[in-house]
Amino acid sequence: MDNQTPFGQSSGVSGNKGMAIFSYLGIFIIVPFLTGAKSDPFVNFHLKQGLGLIVAAIVWSIVSAVLGFILGSIGLGFIAMLFPLVHFGLLIIDIIGILNVISGKMNPLPLVGGVGNMFNF
């Protein structure tokens, strides 16, 4: 009997769910790259989504630092206290990605899923 679970409209769930989960664990995203698991279409999809999430986090970090400096210099630094909410939102999206892997889905992540489509490997 096959231990793999079907995942709706998508096809090709692999036995590499563990490697796909690494895609959403920050620096550990390099593990699937180093092991060659990226050749698996399921892992590859989630690698791209994880990279999109990392790019979004880096871009937001830069933008929030610049905006925080600007807002602080004009006396509106208190607004910058809201910026961590975006990082919290990215954490929620990260958890959604992990839940997609666990359930065997290949759904794009909300808001940042399109960024992952820019990567070709």
Encoded tokens for 15: 């036995």
> What pLDDT sits at residue 2?
40
Q: What is the C-alpha separation between 38 and 52, in angstroms, rounded?
A: 15
> What pLDDT sits at residue 11?
46
**pLDDT per position as a tens digit, 13-35:** 667 899 999 999 999 999 998 88
Candidates 100, 108, 113; CA nearest to 21 is: 100
Q: What number is the average pLDDT over the span 83-99?
A: 95
Lowest mean pLDDT among 31-35, 69-73, 100-104, 117-121: 117-121
- The set of residues, in sequence order, having a beta carbon less than 8 Å from that of 73 and lying 6+ positions away, is none
Q: What are phi and psi of 75, to 5 degrees?
A: 85, 15
Q: What is the C-alpha separation between 105 and 12, in angstroms, rounded?
A: 10
> What pLDDT sits at residue 13?
64
pTM for the model:
0.80
Residue 88 has pLDDT above 50, yes or no: yes
